[in-house]
Amino acid sequence: MKEMFLLYFTKGEDVKMNHKTFPSTKFDVKALAMNFLPVAQKAAIASYPWIGKGNKNEADGAGTEAMRNQMNDIDMHGVIVIGEGEMDEAPMLYIGEELGTKQGPHLDIAVDPVEGTTLMAKGQDNALTVIAGAERGSLLHAPDMYMKKIAVGPRAKGCIDLNASLTDNMKAVAKAVGKDVSELTVMIQDRDRHKDLIEEVLSLGARIKLFPDVDIPGGIATAIDEIGVDLLVGTGGAPEGVITATALKCLGGDFQAQLVPQDQEEFERCREMGMTDPLKTLTLDDIVKTDQCFFVATGITDGLLLKGVRKKEKGGILSHSFVCFGGEINSYQFIESFHL
């Protein structure tokens, strides 16, 4: 049986964002997110045959094509603001590509059809498909470079300061969540550049939870009590930072960041994308300027947040997805689906 989700929206007054005028639409964020659920599912399932096959390009290509084809059926005026690269770098889901039926709300869309291509190619955990969306003109157009990040869940919202020491942030978070500092769990990517952060956490008697790649699940985990992660810190990809920030906006968490250009060329790239001060400390509201946003993910391989795609013995495929919504809803769902 094919599942169908209905999308409702009403026209409103024009609103000016990012120096362009778009028709404002009051849309049902939850219904819209559910329209994107099969997009993530199909991308994950299309990538599944390439798990552990050592060919990340084929896996990424399969997920990208499936995602784009499905997304074009959604009633929206969607524009990719974070995707597979510039138009001359990617044949589809490139930055600036317009998707959808052109009927419906105007949206910014940030995607990664296979987040963790190397992990997937090696048959390792934590590869997933991710999509973030928000009303047009509201997502930061982050260039593909490093970003310094700190993320926490709802109970520690308003307590973090990217410009303070990790020790000060940990003390503030511990107070907010009602724990001793030594009881905190801090997620950090296992990289040499994070050696000092790791040592600082351990010196306070707290726990570290290291991961090899893909920081989006770790950022989201801070907002889900059952996973047991109190904060995520470190330097990773800027596009992933925007996607994580969108999810945390939906979940009521908090996120701060700062772009880290490696040279003058990257610095100028930030300027070209409209950032007058590329080194500015970015708050959650700087990165996601609206509550009308959503996040959808489907696991490809098992991971911190989601189970991977699984084939059933008697036929069919199981997928495991995570969906969260902003607006007046601020909730999330884990969804397990059976596909013929």
Contact 312, 236 (CB under 8 A): no
Query: Is 244 among the annotated ligand-binding positions?
Result: no
The Cα 122–Cα 147 span in angstroms is 26
In the chain, beta strands by DSSP E? 9-17, 20-27, 77-82, 98-99, 106-115, 128-135, 146-152, 185-189, 207-211, 231-237, 254-260, 293-299, 310-311, 317-325, 331-339
Query: Binding site annotation covers 60?
Result: yes
The closest of 177, 220, 231 to 324, measured between CA atoms, is: 220
Angle, in degrees to the nearest 10, between helices 166-177 and 195-203: 50
191 annotated to a ligand binding site: yes
Is 214 assigned to a binding site?
yes
146 belongs to an annotated ligand binding site: yes
Q: Does residue 261 contact residue 244 with C-beta atoms inside 8 Å?
A: no
Token pair of 332 as six digits: 């999330």
Gap between the Cα atoms of 27 and 35, Å rounded: 12
Instruction: Work out the number of other CB atoms within 10 angstroms of the CB of residue 277.
Output: 10
- Known binding residue 15? Answer is no
Question: Is 115 annotated among the ligand-binding residues?
Answer: yes
d(CA 81, CA 270): 14
Write out the E strands in 145-284: 146-152, 185-189, 207-211, 231-237, 254-260
Whether 265 has a binding-site annotation, put simply, is no
Q: Is 117 annotated as a binding residue?
A: yes
- Is 237 labelled a binding residue? yes
- 192 among annotated binding-site residues: yes
Binding residues: 60, 84, 112, 115-117, 146, 191-193, 213-215, 237, 240
Binding residues for Mn(2+): 60, 84, 112, 115, 240
Binding residues for substrate: 115-117, 146, 191-193, 213-215, 237
